[in-house]
Structure 1
Amino acid sequence: MGLVLILIVLIAFIVVATTKLKLHPFLALLGAALLAGFAYQMPANDIVKSITGGFGNILGYIGIVITLGTIIGIILERSGAAITMAETVIKLLGERFPTLTVSIIGYLVSIPVFCDSGYVILNSLKNALAARMKVSVVAMSVALATGLYATHTFVPPTPGPIAAAGNLGLESQLGLVILVGLSVAMVTALAGLFWASRFAHKDIPLVESAVPTLETEDYEQMRASYGTLPSPAKAFAPIMVPILLICLGTIVNLPARPIGEGLLHAVLAFLGQPVIALAVGLALACTLLKPGNKREQFEDRVTQGILAAAPILLITGAGGAFGSVLSATPLGDYLGNTLSTLGIGLFMPFLVAAALKSAQGSSTVSLVTTSALVAPMLTQLGLDSDMGRVLTVMAIGSGAMTVSHANDSFFWVVTQFSRMSVATGYKTQTVATLIQGLVGITTVWLLSLVLL
């Protein structure tokens, strides 16, 4: 029981340090790793070795993937590719189902672009569509936000799911994480869409905000600010090609070796490695740079991407350090044996992730911390197969979206740009993320009955 009490204190320390003391999650996780080492009476030298080893091991592979993915996202964001992707979806679906349209747009755009940035970019398009189709701005806002949120928590190369996959030993199985993640994200996006549709024709008063409601004219002005927009093929290629390559790499490396062991297998296996696949994606993203000073643009985008990736890399590395210390203690065996008798399986990582998300606000921190925490327990929980680990990532992702409220920056982006009051935000956006999380873990549990 003492082992569990120490763990509870460590989790409380992370929550208090990041919320009340405003300590950066990197330092909070590093501090928790040190405290864990001493609390579990590890030799002092072993504590340092576990921390440095855990930090380096997770970043040695996943760090490059996170950085390349972030740079690609920045290039897509700055080039207007997100606008092209959105307009392509509108052309395909028409304007008959406005909330479905913006939900799909969010689902696609948030794979390469952070959900906060994606919402800001697409806000004017969403408001223009709401005005044109006479649909409530609140309904459109929640549909867009939940579409963005779904892939943000489940689908690599978004940093949170990548870091969780790395902590759980899935570096070579990212294709499987992507395939399952896209499916679970689709179900949770639909859940958010159904909730948003309740407000489609309700007259919900909006509040004054520093961010004005943008109408069709403002959208056209914003669109023009990007200059000539890239073609759909150029806009989708930098993210869809790497995802396709990673998935193909996973398929050709299946034990059955579906295409044999020849040259084609060697080529696809090489290109399907996430680092190589995202390097290909970065090369394709370079075609989105505007004519003229491409070298300067590229240097600027790379710098912005590295700056955006740096805090995520530090948090991921510190999470790896925390997990490394925990795995060196008897905690994993004790908790695994105890929890396995309770039969809660995948619900345990979900509940931990949901508690961390609700307490400190960051989905990424919740994904990293929970995955580091549960990694030593997978064998005892019966989740140490590749599919078991993938479903654990999905369970953690479901928890990491439960719930978005006032301590989450995304909540404020959605409410402020949509001119919702805080009360309206809680009734619409916060409840939507609660529904998404519960639907997500239910979906994961049902998948586990079939796949495990």
Structure 2
Amino acid sequence: MDVVDPVAAGWQLLTAALVAIALIVVLITVVRMHPFLALILGALAVGLLAGQDMNDVLTSFTTGFGTTAAGVGSLIALGAIFAKLLADSGGADQIVDTIVGRASGRALPWAMALVGALIGLPMFFEIGLVLLMPVIYLVARRSRLSLVTVGIPALAGLSAMHGFVPPHPGPVIAIQNLHADLGVTLGLGILVAIPTIIVAGPLWGSLAGRWVVVEPPSTWERDERPDGRRPSFGVTLATVLLPVVLMLGKAVVDIVVDDPDDRVQQVADVIGNPFVALLVAVLVAMLTFGVGTGMGRREISETVSASLPPIAGILLIVAAGGGFKQVLVDTGIGTLLADWAKDANVSVLLLAWVLAVLIRLATGSATVATITASSLMVDLVQGMSTGETSLVVLAVGAGSLFFSHVNDAGFWLVKEYFGMSVGQTVRTWSLMETVLSVTGLLAVLLLGVFV
């Protein structure tokens, strides 16, 4: 990727970027404007304050919007279809029941962390939380443990997958912005997620559960499919892991074979492409989760159709974020930041994390934090190895999860489902996100020693 020359003086570009980010923050948090519109106005503000021709700004924005919608948007849509099939078939319940059913006592929080991570692989955080809450209620009531002790590990698993592991929107956006290798990032993301989930999940959950004791609701019934049919645990797990295996397989073949003309590598590159891997997983899920559980063609079609409307807002935010990113890149501010970081000898990983943290605290949105922070890091990854670039993606992901508070929709979702006060939610959920973010950064920095 060519280095973009700054279109104005350094102070002017920095001012333009800071004002635009501040504008986005104010519009989202104070005016309560939808992030889609806020990102559009922020992009226009960058170009205007940088002194660019507005036609060039509009071209940059639409180019970034279209590229992101084509690349990331299709993955989000396929992921939503897969998650809906998993939920409606009873496959998610099967994972939960199999893992939790074999755990007892002290092992329950660890089992819940595993369930959260597995359910979190294909599902957005909010969908996974809604799906798991009935299970958290049931396990807490049967084990006579605090809802926090049981629930925090599951939330840690969900949140870590959301921040570190493709094909979730955040990591995929950062991978696209920084031109990182998806397979390598996926592998390293799993390595980072494992210790992070352990520390922020069962370990932190046991501590938080002593501070805040919350009893599960006394009345609650779990929804089941009318016919009671579900895919088996083995079939469910194999289907959930299929896209991950295909993408990791591509990375392994690229390393082992390392010959673009080799037929095996060519096939692996196609099958391991995230779009193809998710498409294959969706088609397989239609058989294993659909036909295999007795769904008819109409029911499968209705499930697929019902999965798409809820993600329209996410798609627009992500695409608008791509437009905002492209405007930032085309002003040359990334070049300025790269030169500054090199002169100051600042750790690129630490800088990526701090930028994401600041934007996350200001906007409450992990997605906006990922989009903006990775956009500002574009020129700093020039000349880095594949592994190092992937670690920058993960550093941004870790920062985007930092201290969820009152400007984050997830904060209120957790508060209401757990029946906690604002103070209790801060002492449990918000601090868990902080522990997860910091642990993730430490894991990334440790991997940076070897990569």
Q: TM-score, normalised by structure 1?
A: 0.90
Change in CA separation of 1:341 and 1:192 when aligned onto 2, cut-off 3 Å? same
- TM-fit CA distance, 1:246: 0.8
1:190 aligned to which of 171, 186, 198: 198
The answer for the alignment partner of 2:389 in structure 1 is 389
The answer for the alignment partner of 1:204 in structure 2 is 213
Distance across 2 between alignment mates of 1:192 and 1:4: 36
The answer for the alignment partner of 2:74 in structure 1 is 64
Q: Is the 8 A contact 1:72 1:238 kept in 2?
A: no
The answer for the alignment partner of 1:176 in structure 2 is 184
Q: Is the 8 A contact 2:148 2:212 kept in 1?
A: no
> For structure 1, which segment, 91-100 or 275-284, has the greater mean C-alpha deviation from structure 2 after superposition?
91-100
Q: Is the 8 A contact 1:102 1:144 kept in 2?
A: yes
Structure 1, unaligned runs of 5 or more: 207-211
1:12-411 equivalences under 5 Å are: 12-91=22-101, 93=103, 95-170=105-180, 173-193=181-201, 194-200=203-209, 204=213, 213=217, 218=220, 221-223=222-224, 227-254=228-255, 256-257=256-257, 262-287=262-287, 288-289=289-290, 294-342=296-344, 343-379=346-382, 384-411=384-411
The answer for the alignment partner of 1:209 in structure 2 is none
Distance across 1 between alignment mates of 2:343 and 2:237: 47
Q: Is the 8 A contact 1:249 1:268 kept in 2?
A: yes
- TM-fit CA distance, 1:350: 1.2
Change in CA separation of 1:393 and 1:92 when aligned onto 2, cut-off 3 Å? farther
In structure 2, give the amino acid aligned to 1:322. Answer: F
Q: Secondary structure at the match of 2:41?
A: helix
Distance across 1 between alignment mates of 2:67 and 2:120: 27
Change in CA separation of 1:227 and 1:368 when aligned onto 2, cut-off 3 Å? farther
Change in CA separation of 1:450 and 1:280 when aligned onto 2, cut-off 3 Å? same
- TM-fit CA distance, 1:396: 0.9
- TM-fit CA distance, 1:349: 1.9
Distance across 2 between alignment mates of 1:203 and 1:158: 31
Q: Secondary structure at the match of 1:436?
A: helix
Q: Is the 8 A contact 2:208 2:427 kept in 1?
A: no
Distance across 2 between alignment mates of 1:201 and 1:432: 14
Change in CA separation of 1:298 and 1:222 when aligned onto 2, cut-off 3 Å? closer
Q: Is the 8 A contact 1:213 1:417 kept in 2?
A: no
Distance across 2 between alignment mates of 1:3 and 1:203: 47
- TM-fit CA distance, 1:225: 5.5
Q: Is the 8 A contact 1:326 1:376 kept in 2?
A: no
- TM-fit CA distance, 1:11: 1.0
Q: Secondary structure at the match of 1:222?
A: coil
Distance across 1 between alignment mates of 2:55 and 2:260: 47
Change in CA separation of 1:40 and 1:99 when aligned onto 2, cut-off 3 Å? same
Q: Secondary structure at the match of 2:31?
A: coil
In structure 2, give the amino acid aligned to 1:319. Answer: G
Distance across 2 between alignment mates of 1:78 and 1:258: 41
Describe the superposition over 1:107-126 as per-residue Cα deviations: whole angstroms up to 9, x where unpaired.
Answer: 11111112222122122222
Describe the superposition over 1:344-367 as per-residue Cα deviations: whole angstroms up to 9, x where unpaired.
Answer: 321222112112222222212222
Describe the superposition over 1:370-415 as per-residue Cα deviations: whole angstroms up to 9, x where unpaired.
Answer: 2223223333xx6x43222211111111111101122222222222
Structure 2, unaligned runs of 5 or more: 1-10
Q: Is the 8 A contact 1:138 1:420 kept in 2?
A: no
Distance across 1 between alignment mates of 2:160 and 2:204: 14
Distance across 1 between alignment mates of 2:400 and 2:93: 27
Q: Secondary structure at the match of 1:328?
A: helix
Q: Is the 8 A contact 1:405 1:426 kept in 2?
A: yes
Distance across 2 between alignment mates of 1:229 and 1:214: 27
Change in CA separation of 1:260 and 1:354 when aligned onto 2, cut-off 3 Å? closer
> For structure 1, which segment, 395-404 or 93-102, has the greater mean C-alpha deviation from structure 2 after superposition?
93-102
> For structure 1, which segment, 395-404 or 338-347, has the greater mean C-alpha deviation from structure 2 after superposition?
338-347
Q: Is the 8 A contact 2:204 2:432 kept in 1?
A: yes
RMSD: 2.3
In structure 1, give the amino acid aligned to 2:21. Answer: I
Change in CA separation of 1:72 and 1:4 when aligned onto 2, cut-off 3 Å? same
Change in CA separation of 1:330 and 1:362 when aligned onto 2, cut-off 3 Å? closer
Change in CA separation of 1:302 and 1:107 when aligned onto 2, cut-off 3 Å? same
> For structure 1, which segment, 45-54 or 147-156, has the greater mean C-alpha deviation from structure 2 after superposition?
45-54
Q: Is the 8 A contact 1:406 1:412 kept in 2?
A: yes
In structure 2, give the amino acid aligned to 1:369. Answer: T
Q: Aligned pairs, how many?
A: 437
Describe the superposition over 1:44-70 as per-residue Cα deviations: whole angstroms up to 9, x where unpaired.
Answer: 332122111111222222322221112
Distance across 1 between alignment mates of 2:226 and 2:159: 26
Q: Is the 8 A contact 1:99 1:140 kept in 2?
A: yes
Distance across 2 between alignment mates of 1:271 and 1:402: 34
Distance across 1 between alignment mates of 2:355 and 2:212: 38
Distance across 1 between alignment mates of 2:125 and 2:427: 20
> For structure 1, which segment, 393-402 or 32-41, has the greater mean C-alpha deviation from structure 2 after superposition?
32-41
Q: Is the 8 A contact 1:323 1:375 kept in 2?
A: no
Q: Is the 8 A contact 2:337 2:376 kept in 1?
A: no
Change in CA separation of 1:376 and 1:247 when aligned onto 2, cut-off 3 Å? same
Distance across 2 between alignment mates of 1:346 and 1:264: 34
Distance across 1 between alignment mates of 2:273 and 2:102: 32
Q: Is the 8 A contact 2:28 2:34 kept in 1?
A: yes
Change in CA separation of 1:269 and 1:345 when aligned onto 2, cut-off 3 Å? closer
